[in-house]
Structure 1
Amino acid sequence: MSVQRLLLQHRRYSRNSPEIYFLHNFTSSDSHNKPSNPSDHYRCHSHGLNWYGHFLNSLLPSKPQFVIQPSVSFCRSFCTGDSRIGNISDDSVATQYESTDLLISENISASAEESILPVRALISLLDGYRDLTGFPWWIIIVSSTVALRLTLFPFVLLQLHKLKRIGALFPILPPPLPPPMSGRSLRDQLKIFFKEKRAAGCPSFFWYFASLTVEVPCFLLWITTIRRMSLHHHEGFDCGGILWFQNLTEVPSGVLGPVFPLLIAGLHYINVQVSFQKYSVEKMSGFVGLIAKIYKKYLEVLTLPILLITFNIPQGSLVFWLTNSSMTVIQQLSLNHPNVRKKLGLPQKDTQLEAAHQKELGNTGEIKIDPSKNQSKISVQNLSPHELVNLSIKLLAGGRKDEAMSFLRLAIAKDPENVRALLIIGQRLLQDGSLPEATEYLERTIAKLLLKENQMEIEDVDLLILSSQWAGVACIRQGKMGEGLSHLERIATLKEPDDPKSKAHYYGGLVLLSSTLINVGRKNDAIIYLQMATAYDESYKEFLLQCENEEDDIASDLVTSRRGDY
């Protein structure tokens, strides 16, 4: 009886198979008509074999009839006068049973798979929806997909708000990786990074991948369920379509067959272009910009495989895929519209970025450069990073420190490789006593300058000397004597510059190094560097004499003498 039930269950998946139909009737007659004695059993068995012979004869065009003698066992070989029939051996019968076992095992494995996955629950839900409304299956698929996307939309908004918060806080956090020559280990740098991240209330970076854990599984569940319903000829799927896709269980075919594949591939390409809009991708620089461009090219090339794959997917699944892609395009276009973003509280994109900076700076898009000269004005969006740095220097000289810092940060936002802006911000923060943040900016300056060590110009050498001095002072003031000493010793490894201004900064750095060496007990090394500085400028001779006479206040005097430089 168990075999009969399994075969009956499998019949709905293989209605057109005469082999399965025969096996069903054979097992049914054998199971429902059990003989009461051995002779009845023999007659029943012989009757079944004779029926099987008539069945084979009906399939053959030859006149000779296929007759099985009652004395011949079903498991023995038998023949007919027709040479086209040949011999049916024990192997053919065994193959017949193996096919039956294979069908049964496939049915059992499919049932087990459905019981493990939530596919069965979704099929029941869709069946209930259809029974309630009476809609054809293509409307059921489309409307359920729209309902799914509307249900997930609040989660998308939550993710965007979290990413907005991360984008606002990340620039003020220390880098997660230790800057070159900083002397910090990766573990120490990560501790500092996560400590500052928690203090600032920055959301988890998991939100960057939140869609992979929610939207993608829902998409896979839906398309897997509808695909299974199509392949298993679910009730109503063979006539649940409309127009050219009446049968949802078939793959695209005919003249209008390419409609679904072309639409799906085209919508995928449109989604890529909307997601990676030209003005946002091309403005990315560095490694992140390179990765974004490569990823965009990869998604564009993926359009062709998607086109080929969709020709081999049942039309029921294609209805879902097309609806889902259409909803994605609508969602992307809506979220890129300025008015929609404003209503949803999302940050404006590139065209409004300059206005946001201007609002932060407390102006209306124009700034006064020199009030004494007819109050001439200049638009911020027309200024290059170099011009912004020069303008900030003028503002610092005029005592407008907050405005100068804002323009320096804007210059870095436009050009992250602008070492002058990084250095001036670090110096300003050092003067204000913001030692950790000052150290971060100064070490970023040093790291960028060291990357072009073999191509440094005169100005780059001068900036490296100054940034090493101030980074050393910032670290020493925080009690990080080792890190401060490593920054100052970098100056001693440089070749004496030819430029007069850079040379003065160079020997000033050696004096600061001597002060630090005295504090750590390396008096002899300090004397060597002081002798070099004295040979350049006789005004340092006083400190050399104090060091040689072992006066205790030499270190404080050296620091005081250099304090005016920073």
Structure 2
Amino acid sequence: MGLCPHLPPPLPPPLSGRSFKDQITFFLKEKQAAGCPSFFWFFASFSVQVPCFLLWIMSIRRMSLEHHSGFDCGGTLWFQNLTEYSNGVLGPIFPLLIAGLHYSNVQISIQKSSFQELPDTLGSLAKGYAFYLQLLTLPILFITFNVPQGSLVYWFTNSSLTLIQKLCLKNPSVLKYLGLPVKKASATTPINDQRSNNEGPEIFVSTKQGKISAENLSPKELVAFSVKVLTDGHKDVAIKLLRLALKKDPGCTRALLIMGQTLLQKQELVEASVYLESAVSKLLVAGHPVEVEELDLLILSSQWAGIACMRQGKMDEGLFHLERLAQLKEPEDLKTKSYYYDGLIILASALLNMGRKAEALNHLSKAAAYNPAYHVYLKQCEEDSDDFANHLAKGYERFVS
């Protein structure tokens, strides 16, 4: 789990320009480069360690109960007889030690700070699992009072060695000696300072130079950090950074676009439309942009503004934004061109939903001429395929999933 926050997301992040296939390939490549084991390794380890532990402790328990030779006189200190259960004034020593070792191992293994680096859903599951492991301390304490002292000796030894192992693997020198990767502090993840003021908790950003208040960053830097935390699944933190960027520079169209995208993903459709339409307006103040970056922003803002309107049932307004794409000349830049034809596919989806099949076919023909992979959609549309209609009708939803 420690390496997961440093991996790219398996799904394409906003403005990445990557297809799903390219992003998965990139994810697997980075996963291999980071030395991340297979996801099945956890289950393989669990399937070996747990049965072995249970087999050994039950074997020792059975030997104790059956008075195996030497068990009744092979102990020491307060546990002279290993066949007996914990009893007397010194009886609770092993149960308390074992329960304490379990709790200590859990605390060392699962650090609360690492939860902040996980996406919201995964972070919640990790917190729940950590609470479950901590809660197991009480059943373990009860069980150890009902297990022969021979088993408790093994259990205590096993837990002690586990604790020593975990402490050693927390030491950078030991990790370096063993050739294992040393986990470094996150270089870009914003965190909330607990000191609150009238405007809420102050946001800090962790960099190689240390923690820096987000207030000291430029709008461009704030937008860059927002994209980073969005790829880690922290939408709420990204929104705070984007609001701060727009407070400093209300005309930052990239911040307006990403804010609209993020709000749309959170199903806050009305506010998302406001930001996206504002981005479109600012980009069109001086006419259609010719710079590659501004053209990218116009195409993406128009796409998302159209999607946001349609998801609110405002089909005409959504179509108005999408038809803006058809009025543009085919871009020369390859990345911009891919955005452009993605927009034509969404436009075709909207037109088909509104019964304007001829126009949808026209845009699909252009897209198929650019990318032969779209030809199957064109063919299905020409044949009035229900599968294609259903697929294309939901085409724009993939942008907000």
Contact 1:248–1:315 (8 Å) recurs in 2:
yes
Alpha carbons of 1:293 and 1:230: their partners in 2 closer, same or farther (altered >3 Å)? Answer: same
Q: Does 1:452 align with 2:242?
A: no
Provide the C-alpha distance between the structure 2 equivalents of 1:415 and 1:521, rounded to a whole number of angstroms.
Answer: 29
Contact 1:248–1:316 (8 Å) recurs in 2:
yes
Q: Which SS does the other structure have where 1:381 is aligned?
A: strand
Alpha carbons of 1:229 and 1:283: their partners in 2 closer, same or farther (altered >3 Å)? Answer: same
Alpha carbons of 1:388 and 1:216: their partners in 2 closer, same or farther (altered >3 Å)? Answer: farther
Q: Which residue in 1 is equivalent to 2:288?
A: none
Alpha carbons of 1:262 and 1:200: their partners in 2 closer, same or farther (altered >3 Å)? Answer: closer
Contact 1:389–1:411 (8 Å) recurs in 2:
no
Percent of pairs with identical residues: 40
Alpha carbons of 1:193 and 1:496: their partners in 2 closer, same or farther (altered >3 Å)? Answer: closer
Provide the C-alpha distance between the structure 2 equivalents of 1:291 and 1:518, rounded to a whole number of angstroms.
Answer: 39
Q: Which residue in 2 is equivalent to 1:266?
A: 100
Q: How many residues align?
A: 290
Q: Which residue in 2 is equivalent to 1:249?
A: 83
Q: Which residue in 2 is equivalent to 1:299?
A: 133
Which is higher, the Rg of structure 1 or of structure 2? Answer: 1
Deviates more, 1:219-228 or 1:313-322: 219-228
Q: Which SS does the other structure have where 1:382 is aligned?
A: strand
Contact 2:98–2:159 (8 Å) recurs in 1:
yes
Q: Which residue in 1 is equivalent to 2:57?
A: 223
Alpha carbons of 1:381 and 1:318: their partners in 2 closer, same or farther (altered >3 Å)? Answer: same
Alpha carbons of 1:319 and 1:200: their partners in 2 closer, same or farther (altered >3 Å)? Answer: same
Contact 1:173–1:193 (8 Å) recurs in 2:
yes
Provide the C-alpha distance between the structure 1 equivalents of 2:264 and 2:22, rounded to a whole number of angstroms.
Answer: 24
| Residues 137-174 of structure 1 deviation map (CA, whole Å, 9 limit, x = unaligned) | xxxxxxxxxxxxxxxxxxxxxxx9xx74x664x31533
AA matched with 1:299: L
AA matched with 1:253: N
Residue 212 (structure 2) aligned to one of 377, 382, 403: 382
1:294 Cα deviation after fit: 1.8
AA matched with 1:381: K
Provide the C-alpha distance between the structure 1 equivalents of 2:49 and 2:344, rounded to a whole number of angstroms.
Answer: 63
Q: Which residue in 2 is equivalent to 1:511?
A: 324
Q: With a CA cutoff of 8 Å and minimum separation of 6, indicate the structure with the bigger relative contact order.
A: 2
Alpha carbons of 1:470 and 1:214: their partners in 2 closer, same or farther (altered >3 Å)? Answer: farther
AA matched with 2:212: N
Matches within 5 A, 1:122-521: 164=3, 168=6, 170-171=7-8, 173-174=10-11, 202=32, 203-281=37-115, 284=118, 286-349=120-183, 352-354=185-187, 379=209, 381-384=211-214, 390-392=219-221, 407=225, 410-412=228-230, 416-417=234-235, 418=238, 446=261, 449-453=264-268, 456=271, 460-462=275-277, 490=307, 493=310, 509-512=322-325
Provide the C-alpha distance between the structure 2 equivalents of 1:387 and 1:302, rounded to a whole number of angstroms.
Answer: 45
Q: Which residue in 2 is equivalent to 1:147?
A: none
Contact 1:443–1:471 (8 Å) recurs in 2:
no
Considering fraction of residues, name the structure with more helix: 1
Contact 1:389–1:421 (8 Å) recurs in 2:
no
Provide the C-alpha distance between the structure 2 equivalents of 1:221 and 1:420, rounded to a whole number of angstroms.
Answer: 52
Q: Which SS does the other structure have where 1:173 is aligned?
A: coil
AA matched with 1:298: Y
Contact 2:74–2:81 (8 Å) recurs in 1:
yes
AA matched with 1:493: M
TM-score (norm 2): 0.55
1:345 Cα deviation after fit: 4.0
| Residues 268-290 of structure 1 deviation map (CA, whole Å, 9 limit, x = unaligned) | 11112112224334565512222
1:234 Cα deviation after fit: 1.1
Provide the C-alpha distance between the structure 2 equivalents of 1:236 and 1:519, rounded to a whole number of angstroms.
Answer: 79
Contact 1:261–1:311 (8 Å) recurs in 2:
yes
Provide the C-alpha distance between the structure 2 equivalents of 1:204 and 1:284, rounded to a whole number of angstroms.
Answer: 19
Contact 1:471–1:487 (8 Å) recurs in 2:
no
Provide the C-alpha distance between the structure 2 equivalents of 1:315 and 1:286, rounded to a whole number of angstroms.
Answer: 44
Provide the C-alpha distance between the structure 2 equivalents of 1:463 and 1:222, rounded to a whole number of angstroms.
Answer: 67
1:343 Cα deviation after fit: 3.2
1:512 Cα deviation after fit: 1.0
Q: CA RMSD in A?
A: 5.2
Alpha carbons of 1:199 and 1:284: their partners in 2 closer, same or farther (altered >3 Å)? Answer: closer
1:461 Cα deviation after fit: 4.1
1:494 Cα deviation after fit: 6.8
1:253 Cα deviation after fit: 1.2
Contact 2:78–2:90 (8 Å) recurs in 1:
yes
1:511 Cα deviation after fit: 1.2
* Gap regions ≥5 residues in structure 1: 1-159, 180-187, 358-364, 367-378, 394-403, 423-441, 475-484, 498-502, 529-546, 557-566
TM-score (norm 1): 0.41
Deviates more, 1:227-236 or 1:196-205: 196-205
1:263 Cα deviation after fit: 0.7
Q: Which SS does the other structure have where 1:236 is aligned?
A: coil
1:304 Cα deviation after fit: 1.1
* Gap regions ≥5 residues in structure 2: 191-206, 243-256, 284-294, 329-340, 368-401
Q: Which SS does the other structure have where 2:72 is aligned?
A: helix
Contact 2:264–2:272 (8 Å) recurs in 1:
no
AA matched with 2:53: F
1:450 Cα deviation after fit: 3.5
Provide the C-alpha distance between the structure 2 equivalents of 1:391 and 1:444, rounded to a whole number of angstroms.
Answer: 14
| Residues 295-334 of structure 1 deviation map (CA, whole Å, 9 limit, x = unaligned) | 2222222111111110110111000000111111111222
Matches within 5 A, 1:28-177: 164=3, 168=6, 170-171=7-8, 173-174=10-11
Q: Which SS does the other structure have where 2:88 is aligned?
A: coil
Contact 2:117–2:189 (8 Å) recurs in 1:
no
